[in-house]
Amino acid sequence: MDGRDDTVRLGALNMKATRGFDLDPDVSVSSPVTRQKAAAAKQFIENHYKNYLQGLQDRKERRRAVQMRAQQAAVSSEEQEEMLRNLERRETEYMRLQRRKIGIDDFEQFTLIGKGAFGEVRLCRAKGTGEIFAMKKLKKSEMLSRGQVSTTLL
């Protein structure tokens, strides 16, 4: 405590003995870049949990819908359990596919369409589905060294 108003200074976080935490950023402590990074991190975290909770709610609604259809069709309890197990299996597989990262190995590359300062564009086919895509391969080190990251984002 600094003795004036029972405030304890902890970097950009102020704590008053009577009010708890004061979350207003201390402008003199953090740079604009730091504030921008903190805002971006906050937005990312908020979006992540918002999407997670929305997915959870959607799964619960689908489960309720299956239970309602099973009750309306007057299905036996064993068949209802089997329907719910099938739904859970499909949901698990879907969530697993959502977490999977797509990489260059998931595509069969054909021809070079174009070449630029930071990389190239190739015609390719997805191995799983057979869909045709144009894949842009960028050299991250070149972009960073030239300070051109913002011009190459899609």
Q: Distance between alpha carbon 40 and the CA centroid of its chain, in Å?
A: 13
**Is the per-residue pLDDT at 6 higher than 60?**
no
Q: Is 144 helix (H, G, I), strand (E, B) or coil?
A: helix
Tell me which of 74, 99, 124 is where a domain ends.
99
* % of the chain surpassing 70 pLDDT: 76
Residue 52 placed within a domain? yes
- Residue 132 phi/psi, 5° resolution? -95, 135
Q: Answer with the residue of higher pLDDT: 19 or 106.
A: 106
Same domain, residue pair 39 and 59: yes
Same domain, residue pair 111 and 136: yes
Q: What are the residue ranges of helices labelled H in the chain?
A: 32-72, 77-99, 140-146, 149-152
The per-residue pLDDT for 137 is 85
Tell me which of 70, 99, 128 is where a domain ends.
99
The per-residue pLDDT for range 89-141, each reduced to its tens digit, is 999 999 888 888 888 889 999 999 998 877 899 999 999 899 999 998 888 77
Which domain does 56 fall in, by range? 32-99
Q: Is residue 107 within 8 Å of residue 126, measured between CB atoms?
A: yes
Same domain, residue pair 109 and 125: yes
Same domain, residue pair 91 and 110: no
Residue 13, number of CB atoms within 10 A of its CB: 14
What 8-state DSSP symbol labels residue 130?
Answer: -
Residue 2 placed within a domain? no
Same domain, residue pair 83 and 116: no
Same domain, residue pair 89 and 147: no
Same domain, residue pair 90 and 133: no
Residue 39 placed within a domain? yes
Average pLDDT over residues 1-25: 51
CATH number at residue 136: 3.30.200.20
Domain total in the chain: 2
Tell me which of 75, 99, 123 is where a domain ends.
99
Look up the pTM and report it.
0.49
The per-residue pLDDT for range 60-75, each reduced to its tens digit, is 999 999 999 988 888 8
Same domain, residue pair 72 and 117: no
Among 28-32, 38-42, 121-125, 137-141, the range scoring the smallest mean pLDDT is 28-32
3: left (phi over 0), alpha (psi -120 to 50) or beta: left
